[in-house]
Amino acid sequence: MDLVTDNFKKFLELKDLLNISLDEFIRTTEERHFQGAQKLWKVCEKDIYKKKYSGLYCVGCEEFYKEEELVDGLCPDHKVKPELIEEENYFFKLSNYQEKIKELIEKDIVKIIPESRKNEVLSFINSGLQDFCISRSSERAKGWGIDVPGDSTQKMWVWFDALSNYINALGYANDDEKFNEFWQKSDSRVHVIGKGIIRFHSVYWLAMLLSAGLTLPKTLFVHGYLTVDNQKMSKSIGNVIDPKELVLKYGSEGVRYFLLREIPATGDGDFTYEKFEKRYNSDLASGLGNLFSRTSAMVIKAGLNNGFKIRPNRLFIEKNKEVEDKVVERFFQFNETLSDIWELVSFCDKYIENEKPWEITDSEKQKEVFSNLFYSLNNISKLIEPFLPLTSEKMKEQLKEGDGVFDISKGESLFPRI
């Protein structure tokens, strides 16, 4: 219990460390979760029956495997031998929902992103959905978990209760108004999940909701895994990266930037300190950070920084518009989006190299060059806001823009070199 509580605290702590905002954070030990899980079980009862069973169970996955799904007799994920379990448990009639779930996914009524994951799910469905076990003996559960309503000798299968967490956090058990607003009648219901748990969400969870007559999610957004030096992160290899250490060393903005820029949103990505520092130095310290500090220093030196009314030229207006459009269009492909924004950083860098503002003596020409640069920097400060909120804030504070008029001041470096 102490271990679980420690881990819970670590996850919650990440919210502040990574500067993330959240509306709800729920633990499966909370009363509202117990109530919701049992309520869901009861409304699914028409699809639940009891039978004697034996199967191969991986405790790491909390899932039964078929013989043919194992790799050399081992769990494909955990590389451990699953236990042979024999007991009488409750089962859910998944077979009732095979055709319905297939149709929902095929027609994108429940949209799975990316397409490759959708195909993976469809091929799993087409291989034939079998009823699945949704409880275990209280003895095997060692007292952990939630009682099956009306049968205290059995605990719910952890995924049955865990999946209900989504709606329990939204008041399923005891807050109809909240539940309707954020789930039943909401315009958008998106689950963001790792690729390893796609079956639970795209098949079992949909079946449970269908059985309960509840609204379904609209989108399952499936992300990949993070490897370290192209190896799976694991305690036994000893290559686990603690996000806390990373943030304390490099700051939340650097860590956020690397993860969003380097890891494709729906694919796997690799972390090494070398890659991290390279990316940080090239894109942040020498890239945006340097562009911002040297442009600010030049405009201050030129004495144009107070009440500077910008008049960007057409080339810059169009270039900025082009980048903004791309960001809107493919926002969720974060790595691409950031690469688009950084295209604007390089565009400004090249412009400075060509124009050499420090050599310009004509004051109108000087104003034009600085107009283009600050027009772009101001846009960049807005475009990066969802990704790098602290940097965005610092830039806006230094630019003090209102109606195209700037009061630019000198600030500390956005990204000191590592």
Q: Residue 317 corresponds to which amino acid?
A: I
Nearer of residues 58 and 162 to Zn ion, judged by Cβ: 58
Alpha carbon distance 94, 86 (integer Å):
21
DSSP string, 259-315: HHHHS-TTS-EEE-HHHHHHHIIIIIIIIIIHHHHHHHHHHHHTT--TTEE----HH
Smallest gap from residue 347 Cβ to Zn ion (A):
48
Alpha carbon distance 207, 215 (integer Å):
11
Nearer of residues 75 and 207 to Zn ion, judged by Cβ: 75
The DSSP 8-state label assigned to residue 202 in this structure reads I
Contacts of 222 (CB under 8 A, 6+ apart): 112, 113, 114, 117, 193, 194, 195, 198, 266
Among 60, 196, 303, 416, binds Zn ion (CB under 5 A): 60
Nearer of residues 133 and 209 to Zn ion, judged by Cβ: 133
Alpha carbon distance 309, 331 (integer Å):
31
Nearer of residues 188 and 236 to Zn ion, judged by Cβ: 236
Q: Which stretch binds Zn ion (CB under 5 A): 50-58, 138-146, 162-170, 309-317?
A: 50-58
Give the E-state strand segments of 141-213 in sequence order: 147-148, 151-156, 190-194
The reply on whether position 263 binds Zn ion by CB under 5 A is no
Q: Which stretch binds Zn ion (CB under 5 A): 44-52, 61-69, 154-162, 297-305?
A: 61-69
Characterize the bridge pairing of strands 219-223 and 151-156: unpaired
The reply on whether position 75 binds Zn ion by CB under 5 A is yes
Smallest gap from residue 68 Cβ to Zn ion (A):
15
Smallest gap from residue 56 Cβ to Zn ion (A):
10
Q: Which stretch binds Zn ion (CB under 5 A): 68-76, 124-132, 230-238, 398-406?
A: 68-76
Among 40, 44, 56, 61, binds Zn ion (CB under 5 A): 61
Report the b/e string of 261-270 with b at 16+ CB within 10 A: bbbebbeebe
Nearer of residues 78 and 350 to Zn ion, judged by Cβ: 78
Nearer of residues 57 and 172 to Zn ion, judged by Cβ: 57
Phi, psi of 232 (to 5 degrees): -60, 140
Q: Which stretch binds Zn ion (CB under 5 A): 75-83, 203-211, 291-299, 375-383?
A: 75-83
Binding to Zn ion (CB under 5 A) within 76-95 occurs at 77-78
Q: Residue 50 corresponds to which amino acid?
A: K
The DSSP 8-state label assigned to residue 181 in this structure reads I
Size of the site for Zn ion (CB under 5 A): 6
Smallest gap from residue 73 Cβ to Zn ion (A):
13
Give the E-state strand segments of 158-223 in sequence order: 190-194, 219-223
Q: Which stretch binds Zn ion (CB under 5 A): 52-60, 177-185, 239-247, 276-284?
A: 52-60
Smallest gap from residue 70 Cβ to Zn ion (A):
10
Nearer of residues 59 and 315 to Zn ion, judged by Cβ: 59
Alpha carbon distance 38, 4 (integer Å):
22
Nearer of residues 78 and 321 to Zn ion, judged by Cβ: 78
Smallest gap from residue 78 Cβ to Zn ion (A):
4
Among 44, 48, 58, 285, binds Zn ion (CB under 5 A): 58
The reply on whether position 74 binds Zn ion by CB under 5 A is no
Alpha carbon distance 311, 401 (integer Å):
13
Binding to Zn ion (CB under 5 A) within 205-234 occurs at none
Instruction: Give residues in contact with Zn ion (CB under 5 A).
Output: 58, 60-61, 75, 77-78
